[in-house]
Amino acid sequence: MFLTIKKIPKKSWSSKNPFNLRPKLVTIFFLVFGLTLFGAGEGLLIVSFTGASPWSVLAQGISLNTDISVGIVTFMVSVSVLSLWIFLKQKPGLGTLFNILIIATMIDVCIIFVPTPEIYFNKLLLAIASVLLVGLGTGFYLIANLGPGPRDGLMTGLQRKTNFPIASVRAFLEISVVSIGWYLGGTVGIGTLLFAFGIGPAVALGLYLVGKFFNWFFRLTYLNSSMSLKKFMIDSANILFDDSKNDLRALPKTVRLQILLVLSFIWSVVFSLYIFSYTTFIFGWAGVFLAHAGIIFAVYYTFKQFHNAEAQSVSVFKTKNFNPFKIMSLIFILMFIFIFSKGIEVLTIFRESTKL
């Protein structure tokens, strides 16, 4: 059934082109959701201590024979795999970039917050769960069709050239890689073998499940809520962009800016008192406040440029390219990345300080 899948399914929320710089919001959502599951699976495999992934074994084996660090070898292997895309006519996209950022972040999150089981049987269960999570996450983000990661791009490119099932192509790649790594001296564990032999069927299963069941989920949830969400975001953007709709419209612009700075000062103090100790309060507060002020001035300057363009009737307003929904979507994504990354950094420092 799912083991014979040869093509990546296309759904209503899939991007028409991998190199799409203006994808639908729901496409971005499924891309990020899939890569989050993918990264969690990779992290759980590391936490299980049952063996590294096949590509890590390859990097370790090459490192042992060349006196080059595992990190540099991993980078060189990734570049080599990407270079093969040229011959396979594989196209990159936003998903290729997000693949690097999100998976790396989720691996760190798992290492920090997920404890290693003491019982070996539970370690094996964690390794099995990691393989299934990677397969399901791969299904989500590949169907989003915004560009694969290096290894998945090699898999889909080879599948198009050979017309073999995706499960067979992925299994061949992983087993070949772990065999070469083991021959070169890399350490192979039971988790490594589970991943090498199981990831091909897991990816095929993920593509099958997402392709079969998440189209109706999209219709039931997204279509019913997207219009109200879109209206909310457009209204929010117009309140910021359009002086006639702003609740502070009676005040001069300089006074509005002062109000925002005062609010950022208050919330920076509250956040810093909650997170930082008394000895690190000043430095923590200064960093948080400067970040708030920087964002406020950046947004304020951006809005000012839009108003100047509107007054002069040039470019964006004249050609009707002004889209407050997409602008607010971009702002929300950037704010989420900023807050999430800084939150992980703060929690990591806090956890290390408590250990001491």
For 171-182, how does the pLDDT look when each residue is reduced to its tens digit (9 = 90+)? 999 999 999 999
Burial letters 318-340, b for 16+ CB under 10 A, else e: eeeebebbebbbebeeeeeeeee
Identify the residue with better confidence: 183 or 215. 183
Give yes or no: residues 71 and 201 share one domain.
yes
Give yes or no: residues 205 and 244 share one domain.
no
Give yes or no: residues 211 and 285 share one domain.
no
Q: What is the pLDDT of residue 355?
A: 52
pLDDT of 26-48, one tens digit each?
888 899 999 999 999 998 998 89
**Is 227 within the bounds of a domain?**
no
What is the average pLDDT score of the chain? 79
Residue 226: pLDDT above 60? no
Instruction: Tell me what the mean pLDDT of segment 211-238 comes to.
Output: 63
Q: What percent of the chain has pLDDT over 70?
A: 68
Q: What is the pLDDT of residue 170?
A: 94
Q: Which of 183, 217, 251 is the last residue of a domain?
A: 217
Give yes or no: residues 171 and 299 share one domain.
no
Q: What is the pLDDT of residue 208?
A: 92
Give yes or no: residues 43 and 153 share one domain.
yes
SS3 220: helix
Domains in the chain: how many in total? 2
Give yes or no: residues 212 and 244 share one domain.
no
Give yes or no: residues 341 and 209 share one domain.
no
DSSP 51: -
> How far is residue 224 CA from its own chain's centroid?
25
Q: Which of 157, 186, 217 is the last residue of a domain?
A: 217
Give yes or no: residues 188 and 86 share one domain.
yes
Give yes or no: residues 251 and 105 share one domain.
no
Give yes or no: residues 251 and 208 share one domain.
no
**Is 56 within the bounds of a domain?**
yes
Give the Å distances, CA to CA, from 242 to 69, 235, 238, 269. 55, 10, 5, 30
**Is 349 within the bounds of a domain?**
yes
Give yes or no: residues 283 and 317 share one domain.
yes
Task: Dig out the tokens for 241 from the structure.
Answer: 């962009």
Identify the residue with better confidence: 352 or 291. 291
Cα(188)–Cα(193) distance, rounded to whole angstroms?
Answer: 7
**Is 54 within the bounds of a domain?**
yes
Question: How many other CB atoms sit within 10 Å of the CB of residue 231?
Answer: 11
**Is 225 within the bounds of a domain?**
no
**Is 89 within the bounds of a domain?**
yes
**Is 226 within the bounds of a domain?**
no
Range with lowest mean pLDDT among 1-10, 99-108, 297-306:
297-306
**What are the start-end ranges of the H helices in the chain?**
25-48, 54-66, 70-88, 94-113, 120-144, 150-162, 166-183, 190-217, 223-241, 253-275, 281-312, 315-318, 324-355
Q: What is the pLDDT of residue 289?
A: 72
Residue 234: pLDDT above 90? no
Identify the residue with better confidence: 275 or 166. 166
Domain that holds residue 61: 2-217
- Give the containing element (helix H, strand E) for 321: none
pLDDT of 284-332, one tens digit each?
677 777 777 777 776 666 666 666 666 665 544 444 555 665 666 666 6
Give yes or no: residues 86 and 171 share one domain.
yes
pTM of the predicted model as reported, rounded to 2 decimal places: 0.65
Work out the pLDDT band at 165, boundaries 50, 70, 90.
very high
SS3 279: coil
**Is 222 within the bounds of a domain?**
no
